Chains A and B, each alone.
Chain A
Amino acid sequence: MALDALSKPSAESGSLATSLATIGIIVRRELRDTMRDWRIVSPIVILTLLFPWLMNWTAQLAMNFVRQRQADIIGERMVPFLLMIVGFFPISFSLIIALETFVGEKERRSIEPLLATPVTDLELYLGKMIAATVLPLMGSLVGISIYLGGLYWSVGYLPPLELFILIFVLNIAGAVVMVAGAVVVSSQTTSVRAANLLASFIIIPMALLIQGESMIMFWGHYRILWAIVLALLVVGVILVRMGVKTFNREAILGREIDELDLRRTGRLLIQSFVRPPLGMAALGQARGSAPAGVRRLIGWLGRVYRRDLPYVLRSNWMPLAAVILALVAALAIGWAYVARYPLPQGSITLENLSPESFDTLSGASFLPSLTTRGIFWHNLWVLALAGLLAAISLGVLAVLWLMIPIGLVGFMAGQMAWLGYSPLTFLAAFVLPHGLFEIPAAAIATAFALRLGASVTAPRPGLTVGEGMVVALADLAKVFIFLVVPLLLIAAFVEANLTPQIVLWAYGQ
């Protein structure tokens, strides 16, 4: 974008002590301001002080009811559920406070004087975030204490220590995720109204998560709950990073409306696709123009293959490395699962393979037909779906999507070893011939899909989140059309025509 924000803390950061002091100043002011707003304070007080008593009364009734029917365990398992509710309600207010942080200040025009002080983006962001979290979290913890105190006093029940810690940590992690998400929303919207509308995308998943957690708690699967805590913390960290990376002073000060301009987006997509990738021109390499006529089209294709593709592959080494690591991990996990789910000895006899075996496989409804066209379209569809999954999951699902087949390859190689065959021969015969083309194609497509998804969390400097996604999509399209598709075609041809021959040669009669 034209005016990018001074959003690199490194360029302006002071000492850690100064930063902490600055964060403290911001937090104190925000808290003081919040405490003066009766619309926020009164519901928190009611939910903190009165609601736990109501829940306590409900818990007593429920426990007495189930005790009369000798089902004490049901009553005991209900207590954590009510505990979660007591803890969650005050926390939900953190969302309202957090949604207001930046966009509220923007609406009141008080954000610019704040941005004009020697405060870094990170200090401002963390100060606002902590301030939004502290008060509701305190309310939540006080509410939990009142509820548990009341329960102990009335029916003499105290939850096990692990459960108590778990609920405590789940509440904190939930608050962090909600606040982190809401602050991202607040810094990316132009009005409190728009921020409130977008808040549904935070509150609905969180409400569903609370229900899920309650069910897990009812069945006492605490290990799963610890995993949820971990996942929530990871999501929280990603959201905070995303918030800091996408924090854009220019957008906050300058953007007046949230506009969906499809024509402009389309234009940016086409230009990003047609022109050399961002950054390449800046490095003094060739700059291109839109192709016109066959000769120019050929020249343009030449530039794409000679310069654009090598450049985008080099500049995206990080997602590529991440995908390769994930694939190696998938292979190892698949192999490791053999110990858990070994096939019975003799269940697979490769010596009996014949050309008819491949015809049988081709007829299986869950597999593509073993023709060049069938395999090609299947792989194309699968990788296109990876791009879609990446866009809605910060890139994570695209990687998991690719890990499944690679995990299966590892699993089958492990089974071969278990059944007494050489796993290397298996891989060389069944996977390597077409895998030489198919695996790089899949890895490259997945890496660019990952980058597309991750561009939301950290757009290129100078670009908005939307522009970053469009540019990443253009790179993905270029790589997909000019590199992945040709590789998939070659792979499909090899898999349909050469791989069966090699397998038969290696194992067949």
Chain B
Amino acid sequence: MPAGSSVIRDPLQGMPALTGRSGSESKNLSWLTAVDGVTLEVPTGQILALLGPNGAGKTTTVRMLAAILRPTDGWARVAGLDTVRQPRQVRQAVGLLTEFPGLYLRMRADEYLDFFGQLQGLAHDQIRRRTEVLMERFGLIAQRRQRLAEYSKGMRQKLALIRAMLHDPPLLLLDEPTSAMDPHSAKLVHDAILNLRAERRTILLCTHNLSEAELLADRIAIIRLGQIVALDTPQHLKSALLGPPLLELRLAHPPDGAVREALSAQHDIQVEAWGDTWFRYRTPSPATANPALVARLAGMGAQVVTLSELPRSLEEVYLRIVGDSHGP
């Protein structure tokens, strides 16, 4: 996909905003800047996770990229299409999973998909084929003739995802795709998303589920107060914000004083904690420091059992960026 830059200003052209940002963005958009200076670029076949607190501008960004809303200023291109000049084509090229499933509950599932398939310009046999494939994939095929009012929350969410994928769009904008799902359904959706990536589909994923973002996303964008404040791969974000990774080395026996002295003398590692048979350290150059450390310990007769990197969650990164400065 395409790069996008979107700036939204107040209604009086050429004049500064009359009031600052306060309250929720949906309260009154006329008087505040919902999204300002968002610059995103997602190459084909990648997943970008858009994270941010409530009211940060995620949904507004997604709506602009889906050509539902027009930015007051700036531009966005989706699959090579301009969202302002070619909104109809953009909406054909995008599959949008909205924050709420928003289904017509009196309709049957297949009728519902038929309606949206027709609006997307698909032929009836295409719709039928796609419906069967997707409902099978998400485990809804047995309920295809059921009224949507009888669907559970998770089933509705899955059907909404099928609606977004029905016309096989090159770009999917997914707003909280697994928010109402049980773990099994969420796994199905995660697998589907990874499959889509394998099929060179581009995906923008808005989520509050940080482990989901970490699991699926190639890159993470964090949006706050309508602006992108961080954008990189999960690994780079962690390194940049949390420092070098924390490594844990476990020994067969408790280390003696000589081992401790030897570790203190090695300048390229910094020990952060000691346990009975283990210690944790950081190093800016693991590729050289780790083999040297292991060789040294072996030379001193200390038996190394394991050397591993301690996992660091994306949550720490997110809270570091958003949490501390999260206003009232």
Residues of A within 8 A of B223 (CB): none
> Which of A4-12, A57-65, A348-356 is found at the contact surface with chain B?
A4-12
**Most chain B CB atoms below 10 A, which of A113, A267, A271, A275:** A113
Residues of A within 8 A of B89 (CB): 118
> Which of A145-153, A173-181, A460-468 is found at the contact surface with chain B?
A460-468
Residues of B within 8 A of A268 (CB): 12, 18
Residues of A within 8 A of B115 (CB): 25, 29
Nearest chain B CB to A309 CB, angstrom units: 19
Residues of A within 8 A of B116 (CB): 113, 117
Cβ-closest chain B residue relative to A115: B68
Partner of B13, one of A108, A111, A279: A279
Partner of B98, one of A108, A109, A119, A272: A109
B274 beta carbon closer than 8 Å to chain A: no
A259 beta carbon closer than 8 Å to chain B: yes
Partner of A464, one of B30, B88, B103, B120: B30
Known contacts A25-B119, A256-B26, then 6 further A-B pairs from the complex at CB < 8 Å, ordered by chain A residue: A2-B11, A3-B34, A4-B70, A22-B119, A32-B111, A254-B29
Cβ-closest chain A residue relative to B29: A2
Residues of B within 8 A of A32 (CB): 107, 111
Nearest chain B CB to A240 CB, angstrom units: 21
Residues of A within 8 A of B288 (CB): none
Which residues 366-388 of A sit at the B interface, judged by CB distance below 8 A?
Answer: none
Q: Is the CB of A2 within 8 A of B9?
A: yes
Interface residues on B, range: 35 or more
Residues of B within 8 A of A272 (CB): 12
Which residues 17-58 of B sit at the A interface, judged by CB distance below 8 A?
Answer: 18, 24-34
Which residues 83-127 of A sit at the B interface, judged by CB distance below 8 A?
Answer: 108-120
Q: Is the CB of A267 within 8 A of B30?
A: no
Kindly state the separation between the CA atoms of A118 and B119 in the bound complex, as whole angstroms: 7
A223 beta carbon closer than 8 Å to chain B: no
A264 beta carbon closer than 8 Å to chain B: yes
Kindly state the separation between the CA atoms of A109 and B59 in the bound complex, as whole angstroms: 14
Q: Is the CB of A250 within 8 A of B69?
A: yes
Which residues 292-312 of B sit at the A interface, judged by CB distance below 8 A?
Answer: none
Q: List 30 A-B contacts (CB under 8 A).
A: A1-B11, A2-B10, A2-B31, A3-B34, A5-B69, A6-B67, A11-B87, A12-B86, A25-B119, A29-B107, A32-B107, A32-B111, A109-B100, A109-B102, A110-B102, A113-B98, A116-B91, A118-B119, A249-B69, A253-B63, A254-B29, A255-B29, A264-B31, A275-B15, A278-B13, A281-B13, A462-B13, A463-B11, A464-B30, A467-B11
Nearest chain B CB to A190 CB, angstrom units: 10
**Most chain B CB atoms below 10 A, which of A18, A25, A117:** A117
Partner of B94, one of A110, A116, A259: A116
Residues of B within 8 A of A11 (CB): 84-85, 87
Q: Is the CB of A2 within 8 A of B72?
A: yes
Q: Is the CB of A6 within 8 A of B68?
A: yes
Number of A-B contacts (CB under 8 A): 148
Kindly state the separation between the CA atoms of A25 and B117 in the bound complex, as whole angstroms: 10
Kindly state the separation between the CA atoms of A253 and B68 in the bound complex, as whole angstroms: 9
> Hey, which bits of chain B sit against chain A, CB under 8 A?
8-15, 18, 24-34, 60, 63-64, 66-72, 84-89, 91-92, 94, 96, 98-107, 111, 115-116, 118-121, 160, 163
Kindly state the separation between the CA atoms of A5 and B8 in the bound complex, as whole angstroms: 12
Kindly state the separation between the CA atoms of A462 and B9 in the bound complex, as whole angstroms: 10
Residues of A within 8 A of B18 (CB): 267-268, 271
Kindly state the separation between the CA atoms of A354 and B149 in the bound complex, as whole angstroms: 87
Residues of B within 8 A of A109 (CB): 98, 100-102
Kindly state the separation between the CA atoms of A32 and B147 in the bound complex, as whole angstroms: 13
Cβ-closest chain A residue relative to B32: A2
Partner of B12, one of A12, A29, A275: A275
Residues of B within 8 A of A6 (CB): 67-70, 84, 87
Cβ-closest chain A residue relative to B69: A3
Kindly state the separation between the CA atoms of A255 and B31 in the bound complex, as whole angstroms: 12
Q: Is the CB of B28 within 8 A of A259?
A: yes
Which residues 411-445 of A sit at the B interface, judged by CB distance below 8 A?
Answer: none
Residues of B within 8 A of A4 (CB): 70, 72
Which residues 269-298 of A sit at the B interface, judged by CB distance below 8 A?
Answer: 271-272, 275, 278-279, 281-282, 287
Q: Is the CB of A113 within 8 A of B25?
A: no
Residues of A within 8 A of B71 (CB): 3
Partner of A2, one of B15, B34, B86: B34
A36 beta carbon closer than 8 Å to chain B: yes
Q: Is the CB of B120 within 8 A of A108?
A: no
A14 beta carbon closer than 8 Å to chain B: yes
| Known contacts A117-B91, A462-B72; A112 and B28 CB within 8 A of each other | no
Kindly state the separation between the CA atoms of A119 and B86 in the bound complex, as whole angstroms: 12
Nearest chain B CB to A15 CB, angstrom units: 12
A162 beta carbon closer than 8 Å to chain B: no
Q: Is the CB of B68 within 8 A of A467?
A: no
Partner of A33, one of B26, B60, B106: B106
**Most chain B CB atoms below 10 A, which of A3, A110, A114:** A3
Kindly state the separation between the CA atoms of A32 and B106 in the bound complex, as whole angstroms: 9
Nearest chain A CB to B179 CB, angstrom units: 13
Residues of A within 8 A of B28 (CB): 255, 259, 261
Kindly state the separation between the CA atoms of A278 and B13 in the bound complex, as whole angstroms: 7
Q: Is the CB of A282 within 8 A of B63?
A: no
| Known contacts A267-B18, A278-B13; A256 and B98 CB within 8 A of each other | no
Nearest chain B CB to A120 CB, angstrom units: 7
Q: Is the CB of A3 within 8 A of B119?
A: no
Residues of A within 8 A of B69 (CB): 3, 5-6, 249-250, 253
Partner of A116, one of B31, B68, B103, B121: B68
Kindly state the separation between the CA atoms of A464 and B14 in the bound complex, as whole angstroms: 18
Kindly state the separation between the CA atoms of A146 and B122 in the bound complex, as whole angstroms: 42
Residues of A within 8 A of B118 (CB): 25
Partner of B30, one of A5, A112, A249, A467: A467
Nearest chain A CB to B138 CB, angstrom units: 17
Q: Is the CB of B163 within 8 A of A12?
A: no
Kindly state the separation between the CA atoms of A250 and B105 in the bound complex, as whole angstroms: 24
Kindly state the separation between the CA atoms of A249 and B69 in the bound complex, as whole angstroms: 7
Cβ-closest chain B residue relative to A264: B31
Q: Is the CB of A278 within 8 A of B12?
A: yes
Kindly state the separation between the CA atoms of A271 and B18 in the bound complex, as whole angstroms: 9
Q: Is the CB of B26 within 8 A of A255?
A: yes
Q: Is the CB of B30 within 8 A of A1?
A: yes
What sequence of 0s and 1s flags, for each residue 208-223 of chain A, a beta carbon within 8 Å of any chain B beta carbon?
0000000000000000
